Structure 1
Amino acid sequence: VPVERQSGSSLFGRARLSKAGPARIRAMLYMAAITAKRYNPHVKAQYERLLARGKCKMSALGAAMRKLVHLCFGVLKTRQPYQADYAVAR
């Protein structure tokens, strides 16, 4: 979860990732998101779309981490292997 730094009328600071949740899982998701933004077309498209809308890199990376969690949950729930063309199959 990105945490935005703002204080009344002062200037906005850079967003950072929240430290809530297990640090080990957060670290694994961070590294997986770094790799996925380069090689997974769905994560890459979302990351670049958020950057184009003016989000900072860390917020976009947090969204990539969340997308990876959703993809993993979908694979575990359906018990089917990941399909890169899942959006096209609809």
Structure 2
Amino acid sequence: SKISKKGNSFIRKALYMPALAASRYNKDLKVFYERIIDRKPAKKIGITAVARKLLILIYILWKNDQEYIFEEQINNAVMEVGRY
């Protein structure tokens, strides 16, 4: 599928580099990214999916007024993705 252009382009641009870094250096997000690009060979789709996951993590932390705890927060965000 194509990457939607309906969202906020500023947020999409702002999350691109963090998503790129996370897909390389965060083990959970790296596995997620690799799973996406195995199904769809376009790497930008994988980076966009990681950016969305980061955005959900940011929203959950903000909503619950929590601090970021590296491993624990990523795993919780992965489980909560289905809710949003």
Is this a same-fold pair by TM over 0.5? yes
Q: What is the CA RMSD across the aligned residues, in angstroms?
A: 1.9
What one-letter code is carried by the residue in structure 1 that aligns with 2:55? V
Would you tell me which structure has more helix in proportion to its own residues? 2
Unmatched tracts of structure 1, length 5 or more: 4-16
CA–CA distance in structure 1, aligned partners of residues 31 and 18 of structure 2: 16
Bigger strand fraction: 1
TM-fit CA distance, 1:36 = 1.2
TM-score when normalising by structure 2: 0.71
Equivalent pairs counted in the alignment come to 73
The structure having more radius of gyration, on CA atoms, is 1
- Partner Cα separation in structure 1 for residue 35 and residue 8 of structure 2: 28
Matches within 5 A, 1:1-90: 2-3=1-2, 17-52=3-38, 54-56=39-41, 57-86=43-72, 87=75
1:55 positional shift: 1.5
Segments of structure 2 that go 5 or more residues without pairing to the other structure are 77-84
Q: Deviations over 1:22-49 (max 9, x none)?
A: 2211101112211111122222120012
TM-score (norm 1): 0.67
Question: Which consecutive segments of 4 or more residues in structure 1 shift more than 6 A?
Answer: none
